[in-house]
Amino acid sequence: MGTKEQRSTFVDMVKKACEFGKRLRELGVRPYGVVRIDSASSPTDWAKDPAGNTKLIAQTFREACDVAAGYGEKLAAEGEICWGGMHSWKTMLETLEAVDRPNMGFQADMAHTMLYLLGYNRPEDRILPVGYDWKDRSVLEDGLKKITKALRPYTFDFHVAQNDGTVFGSGSHDKTGRHCQATDPNGKLDVPHDAGYWLRDESGTLTKAFKHICWDGCMFPNAVMTTQQTWNDVLATMIKVRQQHGWYQA
């Protein structure tokens, strides 16, 4: 959404990332993966001209897609509420539809996408009612079904994560997702169960849209990251997801 020069720099950075990705593939250490991108713009700036800015983001993303295609790479738009044009499930869908490139998709992080239900940076797209009682799982599940139905067809990168329903903001970021630990008692998601809304289609069939999944736990302090129990809990959660929704390739 910036100047022509700034948008050109964005595309150039994608090109550099693709060059690294290609080299890592050639070395055999990266047989699979995507290049993650975002709009590098805030919801506030986007809201000054929603239609025009979505068009501009889509144009920039298409240019990046054309560059990435030359390296055999796919681009995944990070579904996080701090990025303009990507800050609600509806604006994200509109941006993806506007880009309309086969190598452009969506990165679904369970912690971030859950916040789409709450409409923090775009209240008009909120799905869960104000004052929602988190004990009523049926309402949450209906909401998850709605956003995954819309965005799952574009999803080819998936992060398992937990969220307690709160947000964090600092510096130039608007409200953004706050991950919590896998076993946090305040976590709102039934992680193994709710992962299935992204990993399975509406009939319950595994989509197999990606070859691997990962855990996302950004914004934790170093003390948490260097504690062995953190990783024991993460691995245990990932194993539960695999047990419910995994498959083995021959």
The 10s digit of each residue's pLDDT in 2-50 is: 899 999 999 999 999 999 999 999 999 998 889 999 999 999 999 999 9
| Rg, the chain, Cα only | 18
At residue 173, the pLDDT reads: 60
What stretch of H or E contains 128?
none
Rounded CA gap, 147 and 101, in Å?
21
Residue % of the chain over a pLDDT of 90: 81
At residue 2, the pLDDT reads: 84
Domain locations along the chain:
4-245
Rounded to 5°, the CA angle 82-87-92 comes to 140
Torsion angle (degrees, nearest 10) of CA 187, 191, 197, 198 = 100
Q: How confident is the model at residue 221 (pLDDT cuts 50, 70, 90)?
A: confident
* Helix ranges, the chain (H): 4-27, 43-46, 50-69, 89-99, 110-116, 137-151, 191-199, 222-225, 228-245
At residue 16, the pLDDT reads: 97
- pLDDT, one tens digit per residue, over 121-177 is 999 999 999 999 999 999 999 999 999 999 999 999 999 999 999 887 665 566 777
pLDDT for residue 66 is more than 90? yes
Tell me which DSSP letter residue 175 carries.
S
Distances (CA, A) of 101 to 11, 35, 58, 60, 209: 15, 14, 10, 12, 17
Picking from 97, 92, 117, 120, the residue whose alpha carbon sits closest to that of residue 107 is 92
At residue 249, the pLDDT reads: 56
Q: Are 123 and 87 in contact (CB under 8 A)?
A: no
Q: Are 167 and 194 in contact (CB under 8 A)?
A: no
Torsion angle (degrees, nearest 10) of CA 165, 192, 210, 88 = -20
Tell me which DSSP letter residue 124 carries.
G
pLDDT for residue 210 is more than 60? yes
Which range in 208-212, 219-223, 230-234 is most confidently predicted, on average pLDDT? 230-234
Q: Are 175 and 168 in contact (CB under 8 A)?
A: yes
pTM check: above 0.85: yes
pLDDT for residue 178 is more than 80? no
At residue 238, the pLDDT reads: 94
- The superfamily (CATH) of domain 4-245 is Divalent-metal-dependent TIM barrel enzymes (3.20.20.150)
Mean pLDDT (the chain, rounded): 92
At residue 168, the pLDDT reads: 74
Q: Are 223 and 184 in contact (CB under 8 A)?
A: no
Rounded CA gap, 229 and 231, in Å?
5
pLDDT for residue 250 is more than 80? no
At residue 174, the pLDDT reads: 63
At residue 172, the pLDDT reads: 57
At residue 92, the pLDDT reads: 97
pLDDT for residue 105 is more than 90? yes
